[in-house]
Amino acid sequence: MQKPEPQWNIVDNIGARINKHFLDCTPLSLNRKIFFSVKAPYAVTGIHAGETEPVHKITLQNVYKQQLIEVQGQSDILVCPIPYTMPYSVHSIMNPILVYSMGLGYMFNFYKNQPVVKKGGTIIFIHPLENKFNKQHHPSYIDLFERIKQTRDPKIVDTWSDELANNPRTSKPIATTTRITAFTRFDVEWGVHATDHVGQIITVNPQSPEAAAQLGWQTAPTVEAAIAMGRDRLGANASVSVLHSPPIAMWEVK
């Protein structure tokens, strides 16, 4: 997992296939424990000091050097795996709100110039999407997910944010608990640009089709079926791009 696939040898390939088969047969709760036990080989890539803007420019150059992937042109359909974790779910569960935030807020927006998927196109997410919440880590998200049964209109959701974030039942001081975060309006707003841009969102084989429907997403049993759904809407010759990358990367769309 810490070596780029083009550098894999035959042993690495066999090991990857065995691990995938094993993970397909084990509960998601166990898979999460396994994934979180794998230590990423992070290291310092640069130290910059000085005025904010010049330092920021140099820092971005360093980020682009590591993470920027060049893509030639936009596609009608984008297949996008969502990682098993994100900034607000470390050692916890990716509840539906966090899956939404990671997919539409992070993964879609990791681009330069223009999105990978065309305006009005289809985005296909691959993630187990459980309808599960950690009551200790994300109590306010439970209330939010229940409320969006009424509406997903971001302007209305925005009016709930202060109430949900400041509810004494769900916002005990972080110093006295392992609570990760209270709800903020950004958990929903990060995805608004994506929902305005694409015309169809499909998630593949979710554990909870009900959670997908509550997010406003369609479902498909397989990636092939999801692509067929996209082509039913966009035409048989609709182009497809697949993001096959580390969890964090950026796409420079030419």
Q: What is the mean pLDDT of residues 183-202?
A: 80
Average pLDDT over every residue of 76-102? 88
Confidence grade of residue 166 (pLDDT, cut at 50, 70, 90): confident
How far is 254 from 251, CA to CA, in rounded Å?
A: 9
Q: Global pTM?
A: 0.85
As a whole number, the mean pLDDT across the chain is 86
Quick one: pLDDT at residue 151?
81
In order of their start, the domains of the chain are 1-48 (no CATH), 72-249 (3.90.226)
Can you give the pLDDT at residue 176?
A: 47
Taking residues 181-199, report their average pLDDT: 74
Cβ atoms within 10 Å, residue 219: 19
User: What's the pLDDT tens digit per position in 34-80?
Assistant: 888 887 777 888 899 999 999 999 999 998 998 899 999 999 999 99
With b meaning 16 or more CB within 10 Å and e meaning fewer, what string describes 22-49?
Answer: eeeeeeeeeebeeeeeeeeeeeeeeeee
